[in-house]
Amino acid sequence: MSHDIFADSPDTLEPARTGDSYRAVQGQPATMKRAPRVAIVHDWLVTYAGAERVLEQMIGCFPQADLFSLVDFVEERKFLHGKRATTSFIQRLPLAKKKYRAYLPLMPLAIEQLDLGAYDLVISSSHAVAKGVLTGPDQVHISYVHSPIRYAWDLQHQYLEQSNLTRGLRSMIARMILHYIRNWDTRTSNSVDHFVANSQFIARRIKKVYRRDADVIFPPVDVQSFVVGEQKEDFYLTASRMVPYKKIDLIVEAFSRMPGKRLVVIGDGPEMNAIRAKAGPNVEILGYQPFAVLHDHMRRAKAFVFAAEEDFGIAPVEAQACGTPVIAYGKGGALETVRELGQPHPTGLFFREQTVPAVVAAVREFEQHAQRFSALDCRANAERFSIATFRERFVGFVEQVMPGATRHGDGARRQPGDTGGGGQKNDGGRVRVLALDQSGGLDQAEVSLLNVASHLRESVEVVLFDDGPFRLALEEAGVTVDVLDAPMLRGMRGGRRVPKSRTLAGIVSLVRETAKRARHVDVIYANTPRAMLVGALAGLLARRPVVWHLRDATAADPLGRVQRTALKWCARVALERAIADSPASKQAFEAFMKASRLPIDVIEEDASRTSRADAAVSAVLAQAAMRGAR
């Protein structure tokens, strides 16, 4: 694929628009001489699924970008990093929130009405119509394609059958609309300067449909949130939304014919009743489960069974991140994410037909070769699809086709991976800090953190596990702050009992959310004991050093026996160093730990030397970040 985006003229081209500050020479990509104006276009924002995971990382790569979408009804907005999308007229049409898909015939018109004329770089994240935005000759349009519109192209007949549109007037109207969509989709592919596909499978589909080549950058998978389990138990696992093309019914029927083999099914959806009807006594259907339960089963299962033809398929990668091999249908993205028997370090095997006998034969073949699959090989293969790898490759690709495009508003170019948490410092050379505190109140510990955070205002993000006046004080000081409400931590006090299942699931969710934020910083700074418990586990997942600020006598904190044991374990395993507010705190902690080689810096605080203490804390955090990077 050619990267010469201004090859039409033999001369040096000066842009016609006033204020533009880049030029292109024949045979060379245009080079930005200032921070570019970037727009990111997504089809629709209604949920957080695979395409939205890619969008989340695109925004992380280009935090200065403006966001555009046909509609924006998504409720859980953390993945948008505070952005609100500029939407189309469909946003205001009747019942658009629940029936936005019914407006498919209007979507080509709607996407073309989004005005992107003010932007130098347009990035579309498209599985439907986003790539059809209108751009001019002085703009660069990169389209990351999850798939050409499936139901308009090779999956049209399957879509019509599943929608009961195979005959009659409604069928005729649907076919005419899809014909119109195909013509529009082909025509608008000409306005894309560079195609990026999420797999070789989709690259071939792009070549077939648009007659264009595409670079392949695999989508990001949050492999760091999954922990390897090397001890496998005697059951198989499948997990998915229960819709027809996922073929969960096929897997359930196959295992029902193998009564000696146990299958666990996690997921929910419109096919649930039909799937339950096919399940034998050896098939356990759990329905929808939170991440903690899914993660636990993935770590313990002897294999993950996957029967869908996916464009990429995140679930098989997540299973491998848990050290679990995969038995998959040998078509689509699975062929690129699973290493088959016969390859070095295999991580799974394939069945070639979506039939019950094929699944049964594949399971039996797997059991004959089970000893050839290594949990560590599975994990190593999954690492190829990490968030950091996606960011590095995507930013590198953009910079290749448009040099200078990754320059940020302060004029300093951000290197690939800087926002991906690679342990590097930000543009100003500051250490990026994620500060954690369990309280929403303003006690002595919180006042101290308020001073430190104000000192580090440009490079710190504070996360609280309870809301209250402390958040307001941080916001007034100009500090970035977020609240992850965690009643399960507040319920750990004294003799109060919280159901263990609720507590465990809540803590796992809290650790996961904290780990996501930790990947964008250099060091985690825990201000309280319970914040340290969460921060230490998040630090292990995100591979970030953790510093704990000891205050008063930590051993006197009213934690239960289990929590105190966890505190000791986390301190030994996860802490890079600690800060004590007095020699007494240091001695109390050393007595509490009984034996620890943890470096402890004593930084005493008083009203006359607050700024000096804050600077000393900053220095300790910088040292921990440097040691952690090594």
Asked if residue 194 has pLDDT above 90, the reply is yes
Q: Position of tokens 């090779």?
A: 154
Retrieve residue 332's tokens: 């689509």
CA distance 544 to 523: 6
Is residue 451 very low, low, confident or very high in pLDDT (cuts 50, 70, 90)? Answer: confident
**Residue 13: its pLDDT value, please?**
35
Q: Are 55 and 130 in contact (CB under 8 A)?
A: no
**Residue 376: its pLDDT value, please?**
93
Phi and psi at 617, nearest 5°, equal -60, -45
What percentage of the chain carries pLDDT values higher than 70? 84
> Within 13 Å, how many C-alpha atoms sit on residue 555's CB side?
11
Contacts of 248 (CB under 8 A, 6+ apart): 238, 240, 242, 265, 267, 271, 275, 307
Of 3, 75, 73, 78, the residue nearest 42 (C-alpha): 73
Summarize the confidence of residues 624-630 as an average pLDDT.
62
CA distance 415 to 290: 36
- E strands in 361-414: none
Least confident range of 88-92, 401-405, 503-507, 545-549: 503-507
Q: Position of tokens 């389209």?
A: 143
In Å, how far are 92, 146, 486, 489, 509 from 505, measured between CA atoms?
Answer: 38, 32, 11, 12, 6
CA distance 235 to 211: 45
What DSSP line would sit under 64-128, residue for residue? T-EEEES-B--S--GGGTT---B--GGGGSTTHHHHGGGGGGGHHHHHHTS--TT-SEEEEEESS
Q: Are 387 and 224 in contact (CB under 8 A)?
A: yes
Average pLDDT of the chain, as a whole number: 83
CA distance 360 to 295: 25
Asked if residue 341 has pLDDT above 60, the reply is yes
CA distance 150 to 332: 13
Domains contained in the chain, CATH given: 36-216 (3.40.50), 223-383 (3.40.50.2000), 421-629 (3.40.50.2000)
CA distance 355 to 350: 12
> Within 13 Å, how many C-alpha atoms sit on residue 344's CB side?
1
**Residue 259: its pLDDT value, please?**
94
**Residue 18: its pLDDT value, please?**
35
Contacts of 65 (CB under 8 A, 6+ apart): 38, 39, 40, 58, 59, 123
- E strands in 212-325: 215-216, 236-239, 263-266, 283-287, 303-306
**Residue 407: its pLDDT value, please?**
64
Is residue 109 very low, low, confident or very high in pLDDT (cuts 50, 70, 90)? Answer: very high
What DSSP line would sit under 539-552, residue for residue? HHHHT--EEEEE-S
Identity of the residue numbered 527: N
CA distance 307 to 159: 18
Summarize the confidence of residues 441-449 as an average pLDDT.
84
Asked if residue 420 has pLDDT above 50, the reply is no
Determine whether 463 is exposed, middle or buried from the number of CB atoms within 10 Å of its CB (0-12, 13-18, 19+): buried
**Residue 504: its pLDDT value, please?**
73
Retrieve residue 76's tokens: 């859980």
**Residue 505: its pLDDT value, please?**
74
Summarize the confidence of residues 72-92 as an average pLDDT.
92
CA distance 471 to 463: 9
Given its phi and psi angles, is residue 342 left (phi above 0), alpha (psi -120 to 50 degrees) or beta?
Answer: left
Asked if residue 492 has pLDDT above 80, the reply is no
State how beta strands 31-32 and 348-351 pair: unpaired
Local structure of residue 432 (DSSP, 8 states):
P
Asked if residue 92 has pLDDT above 50, the reply is yes
> Within 13 Å, how many C-alpha atoms sit on residue 282's CB side?
17
Retrieve residue 35's tokens: 């921070």
